[in-house]
Chain A
Amino acid sequence: MSGLLAIASFSEDAPVGRRALYALRALEHRGGSRAVACFATEKGIECSSGESVRALSVSPGARAVVAAVYSSPSDCSVTRIEAGGEEAIALCSRPCPGARRAIEEAVSEALRGRNPVIDTEIPSFVALTSSGSIVAVRDSAGLTPLSVGGLGFDAAVIASETPAIEVSGASPRDWLRPGEGVVVSRHLAKRVEVRGAARRGHALCSFELLYIARHDAIVDGVPVYSFRKMLGYELGRVAKLSSIDVVTGIPETAIPYAIGLSQAIGKPFEIGFVPTGGERIRAALQGDPLARLVAIHMKMNPVAKALEGKSVALVDDSMVTGATAKTVSQILRYRVGVRELHLFIASPPLVSDCPHGVLSYDRGSLLAANMSARDAARYLEVDSLHWVDRSSLELAARVFGVPLCAKCFGIGVVGGSR
């Protein structure tokens, strides 16, 4: 996974280097193992990279910055290109070795103020030329979102998520449609649209709404928090369990789902865990199993007396290998002593590889693809196991008017088209 950012100032009185670094921190949940920032100087493009945003250095006086965070070094996609006779650098949402020429073409055309015609699929990207122009384009498949913001009359900010725009001090103005882009060059800013075969059919990656985005983000016009609460509500409505005493969620993505579920079944929501470390740790984004376990252990100290002796509905946003669920069920059973444990997963069972290469995992390690429901419940030591079903996901996608790619759930595309 990745988070992209581009900031360009229209005025020499309004430098954006500091803003860029703060904004990038608001994207760190999208990738915590690699960070890159590039800015234009008199001498060309200067880049800084490291394991985290804190390791980066960007000149505070910079007037044009592109930056990205990646969840693993192998997702990192920094491409040097040539556009309009200039050197440029493109930071892509995912590695796309075959798309380099297409990106070069898209950037060159955009800089000329023209709509690029492109026949291969390209990822979302932000690009910076050595003279300080910025081009940001959303992938034509529409999988990876980008939003546009403005800082008074002084700067434009483009980011994977709206909170990054807000943290930079700017206000979100709109979101880019699939294949839509913005170019900000010295004397002109323009909206461009990628045309060509790559434009056929598009949908947002479900995981953006289910898991990746911050609760305070608006993704493709969808308030993420409300979307999550609705799915939680659906989980409760469909499950019809009467024996539950309390509802809790795994911090922190699962919290709105748990609140929705709690409201659906009329049972109280309790804080079940307190994370250590302060920063949002994305366990499922850790590629290495040991690192994943470390992350889980760090964020899962139980508030034992809130749950002890109760019949607990435990909510998580998704289940990949089941490692988180297994660990948490052990904590709740043995350290806390719950009476019953019912596990609710706020997404459908993950059964296939991502055909778009947005998510990288090994199908062989997907719990839902390799285990029967009965075995899964036994392995996880839960009294019941519930997933969001297809019709609930469809309903939410329709209510929020967003087409969602759910191919990894074996479902295809659901929801409204726009």
Chain B
Amino acid sequence: MKVLIVGSGAREHALALMMARSSSEPRIYVASDYANPGLSRVAEESGGKLMIARSSDPEAVARVAEAVSPDLVVIGPEEPQFAGVADELRRRGFTVFGAGRRCAEIERSKVFARELMWRHSIPGRLYFAAFRSVEEAREFSRFAGEVVIKPARQAGGKGVRVLSGYRAYLHEDYEEMARRSIESVASGVMKSYSDTKYTVLVEQLVEGVEYTATLITDGSYHLPLPLAQDHPHAFDFDIGPETGGMGSISGPGWLLPFIERGEFERSVEIVRRAVEALQSEVGERYVGAIAGQMMLTGLWGPTVIEFYSRFGDPEIANLLPVVESDMLEILDAAASGRLASKKLEIDETRAVVVKAVAPAGYPLRKSLGKGHPIAVDEARARELGCVVLYGSVEMRGSEMVTRGSRAIEIVCTASSHEEAARLANRVAAECVRSLDGWPLFFRSDIGTSRLLSKRVELAQRVRRVYRSKEAAGTLGEFYVWVPGKGFFSNPILARGR
């Protein structure tokens, strides 16, 4: 069997390793934007190879596919989906795992995703306002207080401003921050995209613990993955700018230590309903992975922050050490509409901790983190029972150099998160070295009991709130009274009045 993976990073590396274990002994080919050493190795060891191609160019990927003639194509990242790579390949008769352009709209447009949830009354939805013009958004946000300002389009983890902790005595700072965020969304992040109607999204701010609920789907049957928790802040103590995710934890089993079974089930239900709503609106089957980037909040319990039309990175790496089923068989079954007969078996005794190692400069000044040679002692990592995934690194001759984003992901497993985190910290500190002295960093706190106990505490706090709202029948509602104007359940709208 021949498989073609589209994509270039650590997520694709994790997928390749899982598929390589399949009893169908696939030959793995990769259409990658650059020479990712991890992907080339899995490909070559399986008898396939890595081919350089612009992964978000449907024509370029189609050419690779025609040359390889794979039995299955797996599309990793979102940008190729937005660009219609899956559609082009399907048009040419390939069997593809990965959302088509119209289905991927649920990730590409945050406004569309929110509207979809409202139109179909899907629980876990937030109030929002979307703007085409900077002026409108600026005017609206002048007195906005506690809101989140986002680019209206998925922009690869950039430009989101969480205006939390509003204090009236700091109103000048909040107005200023809101104004500047809107301007930088418009003139920075959103400038490179011409494919959306809206520019800025202003939404209700919520607080709680984040986690990811992923489903594999063939459009009618859905296979949930174990929950995972990503860590968006760049640095220890949950401080620092937003990143694509500095590491994730999962297990033991299907839940997380701070999420209860009922909450897991509701989260899956939310994602399932979103898939159904989406299919009914775009008139197309959803084939691939879809994830709810969730937050357990006092407002709703499970709440949707955004959707991914693909597997999360690093979250998919959490599956690597525990999956017992044949992943290739599952992805292939999903791609060809035969998922109903499949089950996902995992080792339910293991906790998994994944940590990303990135060059200094990431995430705000990636150009600084680019072009630095690094070395990885994989043998030592293996001795410690961990797997090394290659992300934003490429081979330049015999040298491995950083590309500015998360370079390496380390996947460790043990009977507890604490132990897995200890291993991951050792590997990150001892086995990944910068060769030119440019600093590399990772988060030492991910997976430690010290951090986990905070999550448990926060989850308990928000759980108390949503349970009481649930009992009162006001789940999802947040009432605002503007004397003389009225009583609103939409805090965002009320602000504009």
Q: How far is the CB of A374 from chain B (nearest CB, A)?
A: 49
Q: Considering the complex, give the chain A residue whose CB is closest to the CB of B174.
A: A169
Inside 8 A of B394's CB, which chain A residues have their CB?
none
A191 touches B445 (CB 8 A): yes
Inside 8 A of B242's CB, which chain A residues have their CB?
153
B241 touches A191 (CB 8 A): no
A22 touches B441 (CB 8 A): no
B441 touches A151 (CB 8 A): no
Out of A150, A174, A184, A188, which one reaches B441, CB within 8 Å?
Answer: A188
Out of B161, B180, B234, which one reaches A189, CB within 8 Å?
Answer: B234
B184 touches A174 (CB 8 A): no
A152 touches B162 (CB 8 A): yes
Out of B162, B167, B180, which one reaches A13, CB within 8 Å?
Answer: B180
Inside 8 A of A173's CB, which chain B residues have their CB?
237-239, 454
Quick one: given A174-B450, A187-B360, are A150 and B237 in contact (CB under 8 Å)? yes
Task: Tell me whether chain B's interface is mostly helix, strand or loop, or mixed.
Answer: mixed
A154 touches B161 (CB 8 A): yes
Out of A15, A18, A113, A189, which one reaches B240, CB within 8 Å?
Answer: A189
Task: Tell me whether chain A's interface is mostly helix, strand or loop, or mixed.
Answer: mixed
A169 touches B237 (CB 8 A): no
- Within A343-360, the residues touching B (CB, 8 Å) are none
**Is A190 located at the chain interface by the 8 A CB criterion?**
yes
Q: Considering the complex, give the chain B residue whose CB is closest to the CB of A155.
A: B239
Inside 8 A of B170's CB, which chain A residues have their CB?
18-19, 22, 169
**Is A58 located at the chain interface by the 8 A CB criterion?**
no
Cα distance A217–B184 in the bound complex, in angstroms: 37
A171 touches B165 (CB 8 A): yes
Surface stretch bound by A, among B107-115, B312-320, B334-342, B361-369: B361-369
B237 touches A153 (CB 8 A): no
Type the 1/0 row for A92-131, where 1 means its CB is closer than 8 Å to any CB of B.
0000000000000000000001000000000000000000
**Is A14 located at the chain interface by the 8 A CB criterion?**
yes
B454 touches A188 (CB 8 A): no
Q: How far is the CB of A358 from chain B (nearest CB, A)?
A: 26
Quick one: given A15-B176, A18-B170, A169-B167, are A187 and B368 in contact (CB under 8 Å)? yes
A113 touches B439 (CB 8 A): yes
A171 touches B237 (CB 8 A): no
B173 touches A10 (CB 8 A): no
**Is B309 located at the chain interface by the 8 A CB criterion?**
no
A152 touches B450 (CB 8 A): no
Cα distance A19–B177 in the bound complex, in angstroms: 13
**Is B235 located at the chain interface by the 8 A CB criterion?**
yes
Cα distance A82–B431 in the bound complex, in angstroms: 33
Inside 8 A of B165's CB, which chain A residues have their CB?
151-152, 166, 168-171
Type the 1/0 row for A124-142, where 1 means its CB is closer than 8 Å to any CB of B.
0000000000000000000
**Is A53 located at the chain interface by the 8 A CB criterion?**
no
Inside 8 A of B236's CB, which chain A residues have their CB?
182, 189-191
A189 touches B454 (CB 8 A): no
23 contacts between A and B (CB under 8 A): A10-B364, A13-B161, A15-B173, A18-B173, A22-B169, A150-B233, A152-B161, A153-B232, A154-B241, A156-B237, A156-B239, A166-B165, A169-B164, A169-B170, A170-B165, A171-B165, A173-B237, A174-B451, A174-B454, A187-B360, A188-B439, A189-B234, A190-B235
For the complex of A and B, list the 3 residue pairs with the smallest distance between their C-beta atoms, beginning with the closest: A169-B165, A152-B162, A189-B235
Given contacts A154-B241, A174-B454, A189-B236, 4 further A-B contacts (CB under 8 A): A13-B161, A13-B181, A190-B235, A190-B441
Residues of B within 8 A of A (CB): 160-167, 169-170, 172-173, 176-177, 180-181, 184, 232-242, 360-361, 364-365, 368, 439, 441, 444-445, 450-451, 454
